[in-house]
Amino acid sequence: MKHLFIALAVFATFTSSACLDLPNSFDARKKWGSSCPVLHDIKTQEHCGSCAFLSIAQVVSDRHCIATGSSIPFSAQWLMSCVDYEKEPDWVPCNGIPGNMVFDAVVEHGMVPETCLPYSSDDWVTPACPATCNDGTAFNKRTYTIKEYGIIDSASDDIVTAIQEEIFLRGPLFVAIDVYSDFNDYATGVYTCNQHSDEEPGAHAVRIVGWGVEDGIPYWLCTNTWGREWGSDGAFKIRRGVNECGIEGGFSAFPIFDRSGWALARMWAGKLVSGVSFLIAGLQFCSDVLSVKPLAAVSLRSRRKDLCESKEKSEYAGRGHRAIDLKMD
């Protein structure tokens, strides 16, 4: 069995992206949603610029279930408490946190279920990484962990294929995009940025769950954090392949779970029991080398605060939405 794992790892290292025949359309929620109901969740950030916390908690929940079969919504509130704000004293939970800082908190502190620490849209920083749930129940902070996180290399020769492979093999991913005021009014169709000369883009964090083509226009299928009343039941389509709103050139990230030793053995054993062949399961490693960069290479554009909006503009507040703040610091 040990030699089999080694052989699969070698297969991954030397297999190009041509090893996958990607479909014209794909929705991770349809592929895994029946066994992982958490993929169908749509978050609502309300009066707090917490889109990065909510989107990352969602992606970790999605991928944890896909990898283990356990559908557990993880707590964004826990991440809001555990982020190391000393790195950037000007940032507070509801007013702009870079995605890599949130992923750092996941790696360092692990995750707890949402039932333990439900989401609140109020500004708060303390207590830092509490030792108990809201009801006083103690928990093990390291019960749910990720080994590290990877990002899609925006300098890749085929960034679109790299993103597609990552989603197709392992599930949704987190992405930061530029948004303008017209994004508030999106309802249907394929969104394209409508930049006005006097507008500066806001930064927003969402989840990519798939892709497709509509009326001849390739698109990414994403979910927002503004509730189900916004967009198409909380989701939207955005043009694919042209770096629309910076979606393919920014920060696209995903959790990497422990696939070594007993953890890897348990994963493969589970796949065998479920009847998935080794050949198909081996493709789970197809794009690892192609699409994951070392953590040291992770960087963000310094001009951006990779969280959503400040609290001044809230025209959608009555519906649980957050308006875009176009005046970035």
Q: Which residue, chain included where needed, has tokens 């994004």?
A: 183
Residue 46's CB: how many other CB atoms inside 10 A? Answer: 21
User: Of the given ranges (151-160, 258-267, 271-280), which has the lowest mean pLDDT?
Assistant: 271-280
Going by C-beta distance under 8 Å and a sequence separation of 6 or more, which residues neighbour residue 52?
Answer: 97, 98, 99, 102, 174, 176, 205, 306, 307, 308
Question: Average of pLDDT values for 257-282?
Answer: 40
Cα separation of 53 and 201, whole Å? Answer: 20
Cα separation of 258 and 213, whole Å? Answer: 35
What is the reported pLDDT for 235? 97
Cα separation of 31 and 48, whole Å? Answer: 32
Cα atoms in the 13 Å half-sphere on the side-chain side of 159? 21
Catalytic residue set:
51, 204, 224
Residue 285 has pLDDT above 60, yes or no: no
Q: For 7-60, what is each residue's pLDDT tens digit?
A: 222 222 222 345 678 999 999 999 999 999 999 999 998 888 889 999 999 999
Going by C-beta distance under 8 Å and a sequence separation of 6 or more, which residues neighbour residue 216?
Answer: none
Beta strands in 78-159 (DSSP E): 148-151
Considering only CA atoms, give the Rg of the chain: 19
What is the reported pLDDT for 66? 95
Grouping H, G, I as helix, E, B as strand and the rest as coil, residue 211 is strand
Closest CA to 115 of 92, 149, 144, 85: 144
Grouping H, G, I as helix, E, B as strand and the rest as coil, residue 80 is helix
Q: For 299-311, what is each residue's pLDDT tens digit?
A: 322 223 333 443 3
Residue 265 has pLDDT above 70, yes or no: no
**Angle made by CA atoms 36, 72, 321, in degrees to the nearest 5:** 90
Q: Which residue, chain included where needed, has tokens 């605060």?
A: 305
Question: Average of pLDDT values for 63-78?
Answer: 93
Asked if 59 and 172 touch (Cβ cutoff 8 Å), the reply is yes
Alpha helix ranges (H) inside 171-287: 261-273, 278-282
Question: Average of pLDDT values for 208-234?
Answer: 97
Grouping H, G, I as helix, E, B as strand and the rest as coil, residue 245 is helix
Residue 72 has pLDDT above 50, yes or no: yes
Under the banding of pLDDT at 50, 70 and 90, the label for residue 258 is low
Grouping H, G, I as helix, E, B as strand and the rest as coil, residue 257 is coil
**Angle made by CA atoms 168, 170, 172, in degrees to the nearest 5:** 75
Residue 212's φ and ψ, nearest 5 degrees, are 180, -165
Grouping H, G, I as helix, E, B as strand and the rest as coil, residue 173 is strand
Residue 209 has pLDDT above 90, yes or no: yes
Cα separation of 168 and 163, whole Å? Answer: 9
* Omega before residue 127 within 30° of 0, cis: yes
What domains, with CATH codes, occur in the chain? 2-319 (3.90.70.10)
Closest CA to 304 of 51, 77, 55, 42: 51
What tokens appear for 61 in the block?
A: 């929940």
Alpha-carbon distance values, 198 to 131, 194, 248, 295 (Å): 47, 12, 24, 36
Residue 90 has pLDDT above 60, yes or no: yes
Report the chain's terminal Cα–Cα distance, integer Å. Answer: 54
DSSP category for residue 153: -
